[in-house]
C-alpha cells in the first residue's frame, strides 16, 4: 500500500487553504497517519504478520466514531480525491447507506473501503497495533477475527491471546505501533478533539464547513 499523502495529488486543496487553522490540523493529522504507516511498515517487514488477503471483517458491521481532526482529514481527503462522494456525503448521502456499519464499506476490493486514504485512526490500527497494559507494558493481541488455523500454522504457533513485549520481541523481533501513544498526540492537536461523533453525523457538516473555508479562501485571493 502506498502513501496516503495529499502531496501525491495535484488538486491542491491544502494549497487553497494555506495559512488557515484547517490546513494546520490536516497537516498534523497527515504526520500522525504517516507515523503509523512507517511503524506498521517496520512491523510488517520484520514480523511477517499481516492480515489475510481480502479479509476486512473488522469493519463489516462497524461504523467508526470520529474526533474532530479525523473528520477534517477525511473531509479534506474526500474533497481532494473523491469529489463526487464528497458532494453527496455533504448532503448526508453515502455510497453504501444500506450498510449496518460504515457507509463506506464495500463488498469488493482488497481493503473493502471506499475512503481508504481518508480513513480514521481505528481503521489504520486494525490488525497491526499494540496497546499498554495496566502496568504500562506494551502488549499485542491478534485480532479476534484472525483465522485460528493461520495463527496455529505460524512458527512458533500463535493463539488468540495477549502477548507481552518480551514475548513479542522473541517471536517477531519487533513491536507494533502503540495506539495509545499516538492517540495521546492526536487528542492534544485540537481542543475540539475532546469527544467523538459517529461518521454519518459528523462528516456532512465537516465537509460543508471545509467547502465554506475553501470558498472564503478563494474569495480572498480574488
Ligand atoms: S472508513 Fe473504511 S476502513 Fe474504516 S470502517 Fe469505514 S470502510 Fe472500514
Ligand atoms: S484486523 Fe482482523 S478482521 Fe480486520 S482485516 Fe485484519 S484479520 Fe481481518
Give the tens place of pLDDT for each residue, 71-96.
999 999 999 999 999 999 999 999 99
Would you say 214 and 17 are in contact if contact means Cβ atoms under 8 Å apart?
Answer: yes
Q: Which residues line ligand 1 (CB under 6 A)?
A: 59, 62, 64, 102, 104-105, 113, 115, 119, 123
Q: Which atom of ligand 1 is nearest to the CA of 101?
A: 5
Q: Say which ligand is closest to the CA of 62.
A: 1
**Phi/psi of residue 40, each to 5°?**
-70, -35
> Which of 60, 116, 126 to probe ligand 2 with, by most ligand atoms within 8 A of CB?
126
> Residue 202: CB partners within 8 Å, gap ≥ 6?
66, 68, 71
pLDDT at residue number 109? 86
Verify whether ligand 2 is closer than 6 Å to residue 146 (CB atom). yes
pLDDT at residue number 5? 60
pLDDT at residue number 11? 54
pLDDT at residue number 193? 84
How many angstroms does the Cα of residue 59 sit away from the middle of ligand 1?
6
Strand partners, 18: none
How many angstroms does the Cα of residue 218 sit away from the middle of ligand 1?
32
Q: Which three cell numbers stand for residue 29?
A: 493529522
Q: pTM here?
A: 0.92
Q: Which residues of the chain have pLDDT under 50?
A: 1-3, 10
pLDDT at residue number 153? 93
Would you say 155 and 149 are in contact if contact means Cβ atoms under 8 Å apart?
Answer: no
Amino acid at each position: 500500500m502506498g502513501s496516503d499523502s495529499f502531496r501525491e495529488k495535484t488538486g491542491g486543496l491544502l494549497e487553497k487553504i494555506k495559512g488557515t487553522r484547517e490546513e494546520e490540523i490536516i497537516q498534523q493529522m497527515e504526520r500522525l497517519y504517516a507515523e503509523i504507516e512507517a511503524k506498521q511498515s517496520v512491523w510488517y517487514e520484520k514480523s511477517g504478520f499481516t492480515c489475510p488477503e481480502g479479509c476486512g471483517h473488522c469493519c463489516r458491521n462497524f461504523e467508526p466514531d470520529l474526533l474532530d481532526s479525523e473528520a477534517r482529514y477525511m473531509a479534506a481527503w474526500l474533497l481532494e480525491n473523491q469529489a463526487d462522494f464528497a458532494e453527496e456525503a455533504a448532503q448526508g448521502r453515502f455510497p453504501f447507506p444500506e450498510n449496518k456499519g460504515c457507509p463506506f464499506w464495500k463488498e469488493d476490493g482488497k481493503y473493502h473501503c471506499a475512503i481508504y486514504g481518508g480513513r480514521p485512526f481505528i481503521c489504520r490500527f486494525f490488525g497491526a497495533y499494540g496497546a499498554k497494559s495496566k502496568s504500562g507494558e506494551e502488549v499485542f493481541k491478534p485480532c479476534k477475527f484472525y483465522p485460528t488455523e493461520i495463527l496455529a500454522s505460524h512458527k512458533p504457533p500463535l493463539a488468540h491471546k495477549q502477548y507481552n513485549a518480551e514475548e513479542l520481541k522473541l517471536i517477531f523481533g519487533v513491536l507494533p505501533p502503540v495506539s495509545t501513544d499516538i492517540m495521546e498526540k492526536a487528542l492534544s492537536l485540537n481542543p475540539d478533539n475532546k469527544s467523538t461523533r459517529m461518521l454519518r453525523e459528523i462528516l456532512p457538516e465537516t465537509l460543508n464547513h471545509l467547502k465554506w473555508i475553501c470558498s472564503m479562501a478563494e474569495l480572498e485571493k480574488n
